[in-house]
Structure formats: structure tokens, C-alpha cells
Amino acid sequence: ADIFKEIAEVEEEHEKRFRKLLQNIKEGTVFKKDKPVKWKCRNCGYVHEGTEAPEVCPACDHPQSYYEVMAENY
């Protein structure tokens, strides 16, 4: 029973995350932010600073869908 409780807590966090992602999609803010952020290409690592991710990576020519907001997790 304890394991199911722990799994339920994890799933609650997943739900919060996916609801926020869905909100970003509906509001058109997946690749566009109000304030400048660092966008990182997940293919080559190129970093762009601005309110929108580039349509195409200038370094590797991959599309905008390869960009994510850069996070420093160290």
C-alpha cells in the first residue's frame, strides 16, 4: 500500500507538469516567452538568447522544435 501512495505522489507531479505544458501549447508560449531566456538546441547545444527560439538552428539547421529553455541544474 505504501508503494502505491508513493507512486500516486509521483503521478500528481506528472499531472502538474503536463497541465503546464498543455497550457503553454494552448497559449502559444512553447517557443515564445514574455522575457528573454536562453534557448538551447537539443541537437548541437547552440544557445540563443531572446524571447523566441529561432525558427531554424543557425549551427546545425535543425527546426525550432529542437529548442528548449536552457536549465542550469548544477
Give percent of the chain with pLDDT exceeding 90. Answer: 95
Q: Is this structure's pTM higher than 0.85?
A: no
| Mean confidence (pLDDT) of the chain | 97
Relative to beta strand 47-52, strand 67-69 is unpaired
What is residue 18's predicted lDDT score, i.e. its pLDDT? Answer: 97
Q: Which residues of the chain have pLDDT under 70?
A: none
DSSP labels, 6-74? HHHHHHHHHHHHHHHHHHHHHHT-SSEEEEEEEEEETTT--EEEEEE--SB-TTT--BGGGEEE-----
What cell numbers appear for 2 in the block? 505504501
Give 55-73 pLDDT, tens digit per residue: 999 999 999 999 999 998 8
Closest CA to 40 of 60, 18, 20: 60
